[in-house]
């Protein structure tokens, strides 16, 4: 939890400008937003090392790995070899924890929704990393059983059993909110469904000896419902 807080502080620093008065109150090692964010990244790394030393792996550790990866990519860019290593560690942690094959549940609980959120965040970054670097995905849809989280706000998830059930009842049949709101998970859900399509494209573009014909392209990019070919 402390490591996650450090990453939040680092991302908050990156939202400021180097001439912000805050940096005048800090020492020479944190006198710019990048230096301050990097120091928070190093502090978060120390927390992660403590987890690794005690062989601790849970949802929070995976989320910490995600947040450190996000923060480091903001500071140094996505072409860093260290980012590739973090990506591999993240994929290994997700599979070791079993987040790629979460069981189906009839009742909506905050803890299960949180696990699903962590997985799709990792799944999305996996597809972005593969697309940017031209490398095969590490979290393949062929080996995952995706459980998409519902389009609920953080407040609704923590509002108690009755309020949560009421919020769930107002969702549509696909789990989207019907109030036109954009929650923190809404964009991640949209990227997840796009990521499933993107992985099929990656299989064609990065695969070897892949037979590509018109039927294969139609399968990846189906025509609209009102198309004459539908």
Q: Percent of the chain at pLDDT above 70?
A: 90
Q: Report the C-alpha gap between 23 and 19 in whole angstroms.
A: 7
What is the span of the domain harbouring residue 139? 78-230
Q: What is the mean pLDDT of the chain?
A: 87
Write out the two tokens for 38: 């990097």
Stretch 112-135: mean pLDDT, rounded?
A: 92
Is there a single domain that holds both residue 56 and residue 84? no
Q: What is the pLDDT of residues 156-171, one digit of tens each?
A: 998 888 899 999 999 9
Collapsing DSSP states into helix, strand and coil, what is residue 134? Answer: coil
| Residue 211 resides in a domain | yes
99 and 33: one domain?
A: no
Lowest-pLDDT range of 3-17, 41-55, 201-215: 201-215
CA separation for the pair 187, 190 (Å, rounded): 5
Closest to 118 measured CA to CA, from 84, 148, 85? 148
* Structure-derived torsion over alpha carbons of residues 138, 143, 147, 148, reported in degrees to the nearest 10: 40
- pLDDT over 60 (residue 228): no
Q: Kindly state whether residue 68 falls inside one of the protein's structural domains.
A: no
Judged against a pLDDT cut of 60, whether residue 222 lies above it is answered with no
What is the model's pLDDT at position 121?
A: 94
pLDDT greater than 80 at residue 12: yes
Domain membership flag for residue 66:
no
Asked, for residue 94, whether it belongs to a domain, the answer is yes
Give the pLDDT confidence of 13-47 residue by residue, as tens digits. 998 887 888 877 767 667 788 888 999 999 999 99
Residue 221 lies in a domain: yes
């Amino acid at each position: 939890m402390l490591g996650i807080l450090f990453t939040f502080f680092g991302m908050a620093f990156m939202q400021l400008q180097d001439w912000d008065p805050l940096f005048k109150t800090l020492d020479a090692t944190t006198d710019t937003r990048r230096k301050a964010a990097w120091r928070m990244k190093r502090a978060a790394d120390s927390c992660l090392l403590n987890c690794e030393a005690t062989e601790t792996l849970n949802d929070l550790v995976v989320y910490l790995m995600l947040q450190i990866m996000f923060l480091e990519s903001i500071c140094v860019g996505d072409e860093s070899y260290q980012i590739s290593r973090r990506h591999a560690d993240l994929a290994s942690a997700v599979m070791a924890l079993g987040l790629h094959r979460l069981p189906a549940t009839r009742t909506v609980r905050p803890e299960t929704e949180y696990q699903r959120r962590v997985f799709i965040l990792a799944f999305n970054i996996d597809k972005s990393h593969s697309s940017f670097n031209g490398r095969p995905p590490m979290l393949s849809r062929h080996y995952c059983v995706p459980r998409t989280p519902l389009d609920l706000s953080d407040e609704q998830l923590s509002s108690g059993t009755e309020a949560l059930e009421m919020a769930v009842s107002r969702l549509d049949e696909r789990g989207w909110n019907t109030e036109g709101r954009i929650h923190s998970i809404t964009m991640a859900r949209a990227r997840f469904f796009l990521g499933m399509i993107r992985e099929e494209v990656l299989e064609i573009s990065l695969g070897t000896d892949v037979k590509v014909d018109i039927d294969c392209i139609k399968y990846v990019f189906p025509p609209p419902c009102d198309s004459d070919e539908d």
